[in-house]
Chains A and B, each alone.
Chain A
């Protein structure tokens, strides 16, 4: 689907929050410790995070300077930028329907914005749409 840069791609929700399966898409440079780190010089690849990944298995690789993106808190608790445990708690309590079986992470800090807009973002959307997801939470660094 082509999106005009002038339009707001607003999709209305068709379900109640308590019935929604929620995925996270984050450009905060989060990935699992055993996944290939992002290239801090620039990287438009993404990592698929299994829905059941333990929060202790995450790390962050990001090219932005620390003064622009403080990783100290997220390094201690990934939920600061990738709230996977909090999402699981909301699902367990019935506030949301379920946590998606996969999430997507990228590094962001992209210098080639045109490629990000035309290729990376649509490919990530396609990846997300392959599994049943009703809403996506977006976080950045």
Chain B
């Protein structure tokens, strides 16, 4: 079989959805450049990464971006 499963983490849901990615998540409210959260917040980075990788084995609608909420992200506190 040709191809390798991919999963995208995007902070720009609108632009990414125009490209209709096979699997993608958009962490809700994350700023551009903060794909997995913020520096030194390893537990948040891990949570986002795990959620993204989980998409490779979960059924969802290809071409759509799944918006996921993560607690512990606070760009205003930076």
Contacts and interface: CB of A to CB of B under 8 A. Distances in A.
B19 to A, nearest CB: 9
B28 interface: no
Given A8-B22, A8-B63, A77-B40, A83 B4 contact: no
Please classify how large the interface on chain B is, using the bins under 10, 10 to 19, 20 to 34, 35 or more: 35 or more
A24 to B, nearest CB: 10
A118 to B, nearest CB: 15
Contacts of A14: 1
A48 interface: no
Interface in B3-37: 3-12, 16, 20-23, 31-37
A87 B49 contact: yes
A77 B33 CA distance: 12
A17 B35 contact: no
B3 to A, nearest CB: 4
A140 B40 contact: no
Nearest to A23: B4
Contacts of A72: 33, 78
B6 A136 contact: yes
Contacts of B11: 140
Interface in A34-85: 68-74, 76-77, 79-81, 83, 85
Given A16-B57, A90-B49, A139-B9, A79 B36 contact: yes
Kindly list the 5 A-B residue pairs having the minimum CB-CB distance in the complex, ordered from nearest. A11-B3, A77-B39, A70-B33, A76-B39, A10-B62
Given A69-B32, A76-B39, 18 more contacts: A8-B20, A8-B22, A11-B2, A22-B53, A28-B33, A72-B33, A73-B38, A79-B42, A79-B45, A80-B35, A80-B36, A80-B45, A85-B42, A95-B53, A125-B4, A137-B53, A138-B6, A141-B33
6 contacts: A1-B3, A70-B33, A71-B33, A77-B38, A137-B7, A137-B53
